[in-house]
Structures are given as structure tokens and as C-alpha cells.
Structure 1
Amino acid sequence: MSITVASVPASHVYIRHLQHPDDAARRTEAPEQPEPRESEHLVVGRLPDPPSPRKDTPTGAPWWPPAMLDPDWIAAHDFDLMHVHFGFDAQTPEQLHEVFDALDAHGRPLIYTAHDLWNPHQEAPALHEAQIQVLFARARAVITLSDQAAEEIFTRWGVSAEVIPHPHVVDLELIRRYAESPRRRTEEFRLGVHLKSLRANMVGIEVLEAALAALREIPRAVLQVDLHHDVFDSSGTRHDARLVRWLKRQDPELLDLRVHDFFTDAELFDYLSSLHASLLPYRFGTHSGWMEAAHDLGTTVIAPDVGCYRSQGADFLYRWQDGRLDAASLTRAVQAASTQAASTHAAGVLSGSAQSGSDPDDHTPWRAPAAPARQDWREEQRRAIAAAHAQIYARALSEG
């Protein structure tokens, strides 16, 4: 038996990694006609993303805005159910109701995964809350990624959400390769803060100042700050002159500034694998795919105590209090991450699992040991995630 899903979107890495590993290589052009084979699990096929109606789609999101969220598209295509994840930002609540009315008219259930309870791109949460209110009301089943999010959804909206964790982001084979050959240097502790294009939930100078203060107490520590050209360049559409002036004043021996455009996947994974810890500079938000990619590569994550990052699995937390950064808590988190990196290295040396060339007496313990078991864990988790989704889909169809 197979189920055909219109996933919104389909090509995002999160959705691609919901697929059972044994089915991942299946053709998706015609999922309504799956290749015959024996299987112990329900086969889920996902329609490919239709071409976006826009020619200037964002970098990294060629599917936006999703063409599937349209009553005419729904009427013209054959599928069993729709599963919405991202991309409904472009629709008003009234337009979303029209889309879901079209699903009802064709007897197709709606499944919604609540990734964001506060859209990280929007300073004011009101519009997003109105949109997800529609999704909560119309969905036959709701999924979210953490226990903390499920509790908030039930408290605020009275909806019971099933918790299914975020799958891996880095491809399984790459997880093994990076575990065998991580990019971390042995002579330093490297903390990374990637400000990207300074989306609404990101904080620059305040977080960077606190991180630098913490690193000054750690021998051979480096803060790597990455930033996109649209923020750094004076002609950039999101240029932040105050931040750029501040960055240029810092000691280049302590702050390693790197300005570039949007990372490719390969560049992102090389970057994350080169860090001992990644600090998320967020003052609001919910969940993080960035955190999952870091964990795929053995990189520690320091996250704020807002949203659901703790419940998702952040390694260390720092606090925001009444909208202000608690710098002391960030210092403690950074110092704890550096201590963890040192003890991890020491344990690897003693067990003989450290990389060649390491010396337990060289006083430069900033190396994470290889962890090939990480690939096995992520593959097992992905099988469980795929099975959980298939069960929800089958139940939604049977209840129709």
C-alpha cells in the first residue's frame, strides 16, 4: 500500500528526510505508481514541488511561495492528503481557509507540522499566530518537534500535537565522513556565531560582546563571526553600519570575521564541522534545523532559553530576561562548552579513540573524537520518524 502526499514544500531538507531510508531513492515523479517491491512498511510518496509562481525566489528556498497552496492546483492534481510545514507566510488567514475548503471538497485531509510558534522572520507575532490558528483548526492531525512545543500548543490553542523529533539534516553518509574527518583544529577552541542576513530574531553586537568577554577567559579561544554581504557591504539591502563599525574595531586575533554570501550545503557543513560550539544569537524563535545539522556533525550548540530549543536538545543555554541578554549566563554557557570540548578530547585520548597526532600533554585539547555511531543513531531515528508519519497519514485517511 502507498500514500501520495502533497508536502508543502517537498524539497526542503526536513521533508526529504521524513522519507524512510529504504524509499529515499524511489522516483517521486509519479508516486501514485510506486515501483513494485516487497516492504514491511507503508510506502509514502511525495509530489515534487511545482514551479514557484515567482522568478525571484529566495536563495535556498526555490519553492517559495508554494504553488500547492492554491485551490485550483488542488483541484487539478491527484494526491491522498496534504501536509503543510512551511510557506504559508504569503497567505492571509482567509486565503488559507479557501485552500483548506478545497481540500475538504475533494476529501483530502490536512496534516500540519508546527515548526514555528513565532516566525523568526517576523518581529510581531500576530500575523503568524492568526495563520497557525487556522492550521490548528483545520488540520486532522497536528505534529510538532518537541515536548515543550506540544505543551504550549495545548495550553494556548487546546490542540493535542504528536511529538516527532527533527530528523538529521546532513545526509547519512556525510555524517559518517565528517565523523571520521572533522574540520576542527587542535590548537584552539573555536566558537561560531553566524549572523547570516540578520533576520528579525537575531541579535548582533550585544551577543557578540558577551561572547568575546567569555572567550577572553579561555586560552587560545577564537570567536568566528560569519555575516552575509547584504549586511556588511554599504550597498547591501540590509546594511547595518553600527554592527560593521563594531566588528572592524575588534582584535582580529580574537574575532575571526568572515563575510560571504549564502552558504551552499557543502560550505555550511564544512563550517559547522570546524567549530567546537555554535552559538545561536536568537531572542525569539521555536525550533532550529541549524541545531540539528550541528549535532549531526558533533558540534555543541549554545542556545537561548526562549522558544523550545532546550526541549529540542540544546547542549547549553543562556538567558534573556525581560528582553535583555543575561551576559553572565552566556559566559557560563560558553565556558561550559569549552570545558566539555576539553574533557571530550581527554576521554578520547585515554580510550585510544582520539585522532592521530594528538598528545594528552600538549595543553590544546580542542578536538572532538570521531563518532561513527552518530550515523547509526540518525538512521535508526529516521526510520522511526518515517514510520510515525506513515501511521499518522494512514489514521487520517481512515478517519475520513
Structure 2
Amino acid sequence: MRADGGVDTLDVLSIPAGHVYTQAIRPSQVTYRPDPDIDGQWWPHPALDADWWHARTDLPDLVHLHFGFDHLSVADTRAFAQALRERNVPLVLTVHDLDNPHQVDQAEHHGKLRVLLDAAAARLTLTDTAAARLRPGAHVIPHPRVVADAPANAGTAVGVFLKSLRANVITDPVFYRILARTLHRATGRPLSVHLHEDARTAHLIHDLAREQAAGFLELRVHSPMPDETLHRAVGNCSAVLLPYLRGTHSGWLEMCRDLGVGVAVPDCGMYAGQADDPRAVREYATGDPLDAARALIHLHEQGRLPYAGDRERQLAEIRQAHLQVYREVSGR
């Protein structure tokens, strides 16, 4: 509290600051320093370079690191943590990814996480299942809503949204062929496959065209969708598959649940731990198309389930929880 009776605003260097997630969780009593503009992107964030801190005079109250440190080596990460210690700037770490979805070999990512966890004044994650994998004392603060105003859809399609085939997405056409045929045999419905039209998806579009011709799936090839269009497309589904090979948590899952859509999730991460209602998220064996079809069929036959809880109240609680952590680690 200031002498004039006002409330001091905490000065936080969030990495990143402008991402939709970090914008959502920000308490009103906090000022986030703006992200740098690096050819239109915020990464690689210069504050992750230890040298950036050595000559700084305008130190923040704390650093909150979410993601964006993929480019660092373990040694670089150790130097970053040491620089914060030397300048007496506390580190808050949110572990979104126990396993990095963009990397097959997790050894270096896990090495960096160990350094950051050792250095952090507060350790946060999104689910109880992830917290159980971290050291004692990790705070669990759930993922906030993604869709504030969900369209009133009541769709019955069964879909998978592949976008541009990121590194953790299953790309084998055989997986989708078996999945689509099994789904069609059980429900009479084609699998709705959404892909971006670009060089990375061309082979899959070509290979799946025969399944479309046979009526087992519908290929929906498109450019990246604006949020409203995407929400309508997802909302037209009763169930959606997350076709991931690795990872930990998913904003896509939260978006589906905001829209009342059931989600089939792989057992490789902590996705099932994000469920607002255990009936709304069904696990399958990672990479197994028959098991993925089983999960989708169950969700489709069960029907849509609205989000179980109060997203407005949850968001207020999420922001308050972050404010409390920031105050504790900064001494303010």
C-alpha cells in the first residue's frame, strides 16, 4: 500500500507477456513489461540471455517464465538462473510442458526444467497430475477459459483438427484411415479432418483423398481460421480427437470444453487431468487408431456435455492466485 492509500502495481517481466494465456491470467494489480518485437515475434526473448541482466538498472519485481526457452542449452539456462540470483530478481516458473511437444528427445528439455525448478522461488503447473511429477510445493492453478462467448452450436460431427501438422501430431495416413473406417462402421458418420492447405499437409491430403471418395472421411482443407470461425467449426462437433504423440497440457482441450465438446486425448501427457467433468474427456493409447476410435465413439454416443463449473469465477480465482504468488515471492 502506498502512502497515499493507493495500491502499488507489481512490475512483472512475463515471458511471454502478450500471449493469449498470459494475458488471461494477469491480475489487474500487475503491469507486464511488453514483449520485444523480433521480426514480428516475441522470441527468442532477450531477457533469457544472461548478459541482458548484467547492465540492467530498471529491474522488475520478478520474472514469470512460461515457455519460449527452447533455444537455450542447459548451460544457457543455468547462466540465466544465475544472472537472476545475482540481481536478486525472483523467478516464478509455470511448467506447461513436462515434455516438450516439439521435441522427440526430451533429455535436454528435462535438463533445463531441473535447472529452472531449482532456481524458482515459486513453481506452478496446471494439473494435479503434473504437480505430482514435480517436487513438493508446486502450486496447481488450472488453465483459464479460452472461449469467452461460446456460440450456441449443437453439432454432431466427429472431428480432428490437424492444422499444419506440428511436430507432436500424428502424420501417418494409416492412423486416420483405420480411425475413420472404425468410426464409420460404428456410427455411420465420416471423420471430419481439418487441415491447413500448405506444403506440410500435401502428402496427407493426397493419401486421404481415397478415404473421402469412399465416404469414410471428409477432408476440410482451409487456410488458418479466425477464432470465431474456428470456434464454430469445433462447436459443430460432438467429439474431437487430440492426435498428439507427446506433450503435457492443452489449450485446445480447454477450448473444446468451453464449447461443450467431448475430447479424446492420448495417454502420453496430463490431458485427462484437465477434465472439468471426467465424462467429457476420454483417454486412448497414444498412437493407437482403434483405441482412439473407441474413445471417439464413446464420446459421440454419450453426446455433448456443457462445461461443468463457473468459468467466470474460476478466472477470478486464477488471477487472484497469481497475484498471491507474485506478492509472496517479491515480498510485496
Tell me the TM-score normalised to structure 1 length: 0.73
* Equivalent residue number for residue 281 of structure 2: 315
Q: Which amino acid aligns with 1:290?
A: W
- From 107, 119, 130, the equivalent of 2:111 is 130
- From 130, 150, 172, the equivalent of 1:149 is 130
Residues 129-278 of structure 1 correspond to what in structure 2 (within 5 A)?
Answer: 129-154=110-135, 159-170=136-147, 172=148, 174-175=149-150, 178=151, 181-182=152-153, 184-185=154-155, 189-204=156-171, 205-230=173-198, 236=199, 238=200, 241=203, 243-252=204-213, 253-278=215-240
2:85 is the alignment partner of 1:99: no
Query: Is the CA contact (8 Å cut-off) linking 1:210 and 1:330 kept in structure 2?
Result: no
* Equivalent residue number for residue 288 of structure 1: 250
Identity in percent = 37
* Equivalent residue number for residue 301 of structure 2: 339
- From 52, 66, 69, the equivalent of 1:85 is 66
* Equivalent residue number for residue 30 of structure 1: none
Counterparts of 1:240 and 1:121, CA distance in 2: 20
* Equivalent residue number for residue 102 of structure 2: 121
Q: Which amino acid aligns with 2:191?
A: L
Query: Is the CA contact (8 Å cut-off) linking 1:120 and 1:201 kept in structure 2?
Result: yes
Query: Is the CA contact (8 Å cut-off) linking 1:111 and 1:141 kept in structure 2?
Result: yes
State the shift of 1:78 in Å. 3.6
State the shift of 1:376 in Å. 7.7
Q: Secondary structure at the match of 2:47?
A: coil
Q: Secondary structure at the match of 1:249?
A: helix
Query: Is the CA contact (8 Å cut-off) linking 1:194 and 1:227 kept in structure 2?
Result: yes
Q: What count of residue pairs does the alignment treat as equivalent?
A: 317
State the shift of 1:220 in Å. 4.8
- Cα pair distance change 1:160/1:92, threshold 3 Å: same
Q: Which moved more, 1:43-52 or 1:297-306?
A: 43-52
State the shift of 1:217 in Å. 3.0
Query: Is the CA contact (8 Å cut-off) linking 2:181 and 2:216 kept in structure 1?
Result: no
- Cα pair distance change 1:210/1:317, threshold 3 Å: farther
State the shift of 1:109 in Å. 0.2
State the shift of 1:138 in Å. 1.0
* Equivalent residue number for residue 28 of structure 1: none
Q: Secondary structure at the match of 2:323?
A: helix
- Cα pair distance change 1:72/1:14, threshold 3 Å: same
Query: Is the CA contact (8 Å cut-off) linking 1:169 and 1:292 kept in structure 2?
Result: yes
Counterparts of 1:213 and 1:199, CA distance in 2: 24
Structure 2 unpaired stretches of 5+: 1-6
Once the two structures are superposed, residues 38-86 of structure 1 have per-residue CA deviations (whole angstroms, 9 ceiling, x without a partner) of xxxxx2221121212xx2x5xxxx3222233234544254420000001
Q: Which amino acid aligns with 1:200?
A: A
* Equivalent residue number for residue 63 of structure 1: 42
* Equivalent residue number for residue 359 of structure 1: none
Query: Is the CA contact (8 Å cut-off) linking 1:280 and 1:303 kept in structure 2?
Result: yes
- Cα pair distance change 1:206/1:381, threshold 3 Å: farther
Query: Is the CA contact (8 Å cut-off) linking 1:203 and 1:281 kept in structure 2?
Result: yes
- Cα pair distance change 1:68/1:269, threshold 3 Å: farther
State the shift of 1:308 in Å. 0.5
Once the two structures are superposed, residues 275-308 of structure 1 have per-residue CA deviations (whole angstroms, 9 ceiling, x without a partner) of 2111001122111011011111111111011111
Once the two structures are superposed, residues 2-46 of structure 1 have per-residue CA deviations (whole angstroms, 9 ceiling, x without a partner) of 3121110011111111024xx3xxxxxxxxxxxxxxxxxxx2221
Runs of 4+ in 1 over 4 A off after TM superposition: none
Counterparts of 1:274 and 1:48, CA distance in 2: 36
Once the two structures are superposed, residues 89-146 of structure 1 have per-residue CA deviations (whole angstroms, 9 ceiling, x without a partner) of 1111222222222222222100100000111111111121122121111111110111
Residues 301-380 of structure 1 correspond to what in structure 2 (within 5 A)?
Answer: 301-313=263-275, 315-320=281-286, 325=288, 327-341=289-303, 377-380=310-313
* Equivalent residue number for residue 348 of structure 1: none
Q: Which amino acid aligns with 1:161?
A: A
Counterparts of 1:376 and 1:309, CA distance in 2: 18
- Cα pair distance change 1:375/1:67, threshold 3 Å: farther
Structure 1 unpaired stretches of 5+: 24-42, 231-235, 345-367
Considering only aligned residues, what root-mean-square deviation do their CA atoms show, in Å?
2.3
Query: Is the CA contact (8 Å cut-off) linking 1:119 and 1:285 kept in structure 2?
Result: yes
Tell me the TM-score normalised to structure 2 length: 0.87
2:290 is the alignment partner of 1:382: no
Counterparts of 1:337 and 1:267, CA distance in 2: 23
Query: Is the CA contact (8 Å cut-off) linking 1:51 and 1:67 kept in structure 2?
Result: no
Query: Is the CA contact (8 Å cut-off) linking 2:13 and 2:63 kept in structure 1?
Result: yes
